[in-house]
Amino acid sequence: MTEEIIIAGFGGQGVLSMGKILAYSGAMQDKEVSWMPSYGPEMRGGTANVSVIISDERISSPIISQFDTAIILNQQSLDKFESSVKPGGVLLYDPNGITNPPKRTDINIYKIAATEKAADLGLAKVFNMIVLGGFLKVKPVVTEEFIEKGLMKSLPERHHGMIPENLKAVQTGKELVQAVHTL
Amino acid sequence: MFNQDIVKPENLVYKRTEVLTDNVMHYCPGCGHGTTHRIIAEVIEEMGIQDKAICVAPVGCSVLAYNYFEVDSLGAAHGRAPALATAIQRLNPDKHTFTYQGDGDLAAIGTAETIHACNRGENIVIIFINNGIYGMTGGQMAPTTLVGMKTATTPYGRNVELNGYPLQITELLAQLPGTYLVTRQSVHTAAAVRKTKKAIRQAFENQKNKKGTSFVEVVSNCNSGWKMPATKANEWMVENMFAKYPIGDIKVDGELVQK
Amino acid sequence: MAKELKLMKGNEAIAEAAIRSGCDGYFGYPITPQSEVMEHLMAEKPWEKTGMVVLQAESETSSINMVYGGAGVGKKVMTSSSSPGISLMQEGLTYLAGAELPAIVVNVVRGGPGLGTIQPSQADYFQATKGGGHGDYQLFVLAPATVQEMYDFVFLGWEIAFKYRNPVMILSDGAIGQVMEKLYVGDYVPRWTDEELRKNAPWASFGKPTDRKHHIITSLELDSAKQELHNHKLQAKYREMEEKEVRFEAINCDDADYIFVAYGSSARIAEKAMQLGKEKGYKIGILRLITLFPFPKKKIAELSTKVKGMLAVEMSAGQMVEDVRLAAEFRCPIEHYGRYGGIIHTPQEVLEALEEKIIKRK
């Protein structure tokens, strides 16, 4: 199993940390992982993206241009990465602010209204974990047990009190995700 | 009387310090480097810190200073001595790291290193020889060259429009909170030598007490570069250099001294 | 040795390795994409754990000269930077080499020339392996391809640096610096005591005891005859490195028709291209260079007699390829493929380049 993922959205949406938690969880589950961020001035409030690879084998290139899954959190990222999903792959997006939804028919498309849900629940902080939950429902590349371990490892100890809330958000995401188009 | 009748321990009135090596100095006769070397070495001997002293030599006339000090030494790239000294002293807080630098090294190419080492208050001693000229490379303009002074690169005299102003870096460094002692001395008379030695002693004592940066400028002559006999050069120095670079303490115990 | 699993960026791994390898001092200046090295060090406060000194200098010029100072007194000292900053350090590097001082300098390369970009590149190969500063000298150049190697090569770097009294450069790039991967770290190696320092660096200017003459660390020798002798000594040392210290990883090279020669990030991209090529029925191997100086001349010469061609894959306009050609002495076709200026080639592009430039070549 090798899963090559891009997560893309605005800076401040928790894109990088979602990727980190996913990578940590994979590592805890004894998989090979890599996490490769975009970096530089674009991190300052513009778009942010990170490629995460989770694999049973040694990872060759951590730099990838074709993805098994694209997790998309704004229109710019959708425009940029829709075409980079491998045929038969997955595109998961949050419809908030999306004016031109994905059009491809050779991939599986899911949506998750995580922005709206997080606002309803007053849980803006764990918005990204709702999205992560949605992804894990579609592609269970790591199990829940290891998500918890990944959170323990990636969050500083002073934030460990927030782990139950994060796990609950993952559950919420699992329930929230909806298929738009599947093959 | 023969030599062997005179050279006896009981007749000893003066002895060269063992912190200087036996190497014959390459400095021009009448130059202030030799005297300054000697008094630094004497201070090291008197304080009993030869095993702790580490000399950082510059590029300039004193590039070979490490051949004369019988202490462990490093030769720095041009202007970088304070950077070396910063690391050496931080890595060895109980040692006595000192730099020995000329005006081109300290106040032109090494200005950034000098200012930042002083501003961080590195616990080092900086000995700064200011003779207003590049001696080693053959008498070109230094940052401290006086207005009107002729050098190989200011053959018609230093012209402010063309060359800018002489840099009073010592006054500038005194403004920085990291400097604890900033003083300007000379070595052209016996009395001046005694005062300079006292200042250098104070600098090393400050270092022992971890007070921050101690900076001792020695205004010196360059009879070769200035193209005058040594005695004349000293007179010219007193008359012209001291006017721009007045002798005395600028900052003592971390406090600016009123002049 | 107990191994602890971490997930870290390559840059953080450098910093973690510094602390755990008994480094005495790090002196640096921020520059993208390697600023995490010093950030991690400052956050970890190693001065409280091991007594290691960490200092943010006023420039790269100053950092490298702080390294020169620390190395001259026998300490394990290092710095890191990225391309423009490494250019500023060239003065210090030639002095370190000339004065035969051990130190580690990490270059997390970005696209050039000039200020260039902040994205990954391998265009500093010439600078790292052919001098960069003035005079006849060589850095020992290690090219990590993973976060684990970023960590491990700091340990290896100290060994090499002190064994040969020579500066070691870890030539990385923005991708390896920024990527986060699994990293196994070992126990802390204690910093040297004064006694160990005297034993391991007996030449250093650590303060003159009464029983010896003073030590002088310098790269200056006004007598040309003596300076020529010094150069002979340096050259002999470099030849010894070429004899004893060449390191590479040969993947599927034994029965390969084609070879990708690559290092660092490019080697990993080439590995993926190799997998894609295998699906198309090509027998491709990879010679991944670990030491760039000493360069694996013999291995390349040997492979050049067995294969149909080699493709040098590097994120530059073609630098390492020159050394590959020299080593292979035209015994097989050798071509170059690489994107540059901060663009990273894709595995697909690399495979296409192999097909076009070598496989379909008449």
Assigned domain for C222 exists: no
Provide the token pair at B105. 């090294």
Average pLDDT over residues B95-104: 98
Assigned domain for C141 exists: yes
Name chain C contacts of A153, Cβ cutoff 8 Å: 7
Name chain C contacts of B68, Cβ cutoff 8 Å: none
Q: What is the CATH number of the domain that holds C295?
A: 3.40.50.920
Q: Among C158, C175, C196, where does a domain finish? A: C196
Assigned domain for B160 exists: yes
Assigned domain for B248 exists: yes
Mean pLDDT of chain A: 92
User: Which CATH number is associated with domain A2-181?
Assistant: 3.40.920.10
Assigned domain for B3 exists: no
Assigned domain for C276 exists: yes
Assigned domain for C27 exists: yes
Assigned domain for C300 exists: yes
Q: Supply angle C-alpha B71, B72, B76, rounded to 5.
A: 115
Q: Do A60 and C269 touch (CB under 8 A)?
A: yes
Mean pLDDT, contiguous 10-residue spans, chain C (362 residues): 86 98 98 96 97 98 98 98 98 98 98 94 98 96 98 98 98 96 96 97 97 97 96 98 98 97 97 96 98 98 97 98 96 96 93 96 75
Write down the pLDDT at residue A144: 87
Q: Give yes or no for residue A42 having a pLDDT over 60.
A: no
Closest chain B C-alpha to C228 CA, distance in angstroms: 19
Assigned domain for C219 exists: no
DSSP class of B25: P
Q: What is the CATH number of the domain that holds B175?
A: 3.40.50.970
Write down the pLDDT at residue A40: 59
Q: Give yes or no for residue B221 having a pLDDT over 70.
A: yes
Write down the pLDDT at residue B110: 97
Q: Do C205 and B90 touch (CB under 8 A)?
A: no
Q: Do B67 and C205 touch (CB under 8 A)?
A: no
Q: How many helices (H) and strands (E) does chain B have?
A: 11, 10
Name chain C contacts of A34, Cβ cutoff 8 Å: 179-181
Phi, psi angle pair for C63, to nearest 5°? -55, -50
Q: B244: domain range?
A: 19-256
Top-confidence range, A2-11, A42-51, B14-23, C151-160? C151-160
Q: Give yes or no for residue A41 having a pLDDT over 60.
A: no
Local structure of C147: helix, strand or coil: helix
Q: Do A24 and C275 touch (CB under 8 A)?
A: no
- Using one digit for the tens of pLDDT, what is the confidence trace for A102-137? 999 999 999 999 999 999 988 888 999 999 999 999
Assigned domain for B197 exists: yes
Count of structural domains, chain B: 1
- Using one digit for the tens of pLDDT, what is the confidence trace for B152-191? 999 999 999 999 999 999 999 999 999 999 999 999 999 9
- Using one digit for the tens of pLDDT, what is the confidence trace for B32-50? 999 999 999 999 999 999 9
Q: C77: domain range?
A: 4-196
C 107-136 near A (Cβ less than 8 A): 118-120
Q: How many CB atoms lie within 10 A of CB B34?
A: 16
> For testing the chain A interface, which of C110, C182, C252 should be mutated: the one with the most A CBs within 10 Å?
C182
Please indicate, yes or no, whether residues C169 and C273 belong to a single structural domain of this protein. no
CB contacts < 8 A (B, C): 130
- Using one digit for the tens of pLDDT, what is the confidence trace for B49-94? 999 999 999 999 999 999 999 999 999 999 999 999 999 999 999 9
Average pLDDT over residues A54-76: 94
Give the pairing of strands B179-186 and B248-252: antiparallel
- Using one digit for the tens of pLDDT, what is the confidence trace for A147-170? 999 999 888 899 899 999 999 999
Half-sphere exposure for B69 (CA within 13 Å, toward CB): 39
Closest chain C C-alpha to B70 CA, distance in angstroms: 5
- Please state at what angle helix C264-279 crosses helix C347-354, rounded to 10 degrees: 70
Please indicate whether chains C and A are in contact, defined as at least 3 beta carbon pairs under 8 Å. Answer: yes
Yes or no: say if B61 and B104 are a contact pair by the CB < 8 Å rule: no
Q: What is the CATH number of the domain that holds C49?
A: 3.40.50.970
- Using one digit for the tens of pLDDT, what is the confidence trace for C43-97? 999 999 999 999 999 999 999 999 999 999 999 999 999 999 999 999 999 999 9
**Exposed e or buried b per residue across A90-119, where buried means at least 16 C-beta atoms within 10 angstroms of its C-beta:** bbbbbebebeeebeeeebbbbbbbbbebbe
Count of structural domains, chain C: 2
- The band of B6, judged by pLDDT with boundaries at 50, 70 and 90, is confident
Q: Do C66 and B83 touch (CB under 8 A)?
A: yes
Name chain C contacts of A35, Cβ cutoff 8 Å: 7, 179-181
DSSP string, B150-212: -BTTBTT---HHHH-PPP-HHHHHHTSTTEEEEEEEE-SSHHHHHHHHHHHHHHHHHHHTT--
Q: Give yes or no for residue B259 having a pLDDT over 60.
A: no
Assigned domain for B211 exists: yes
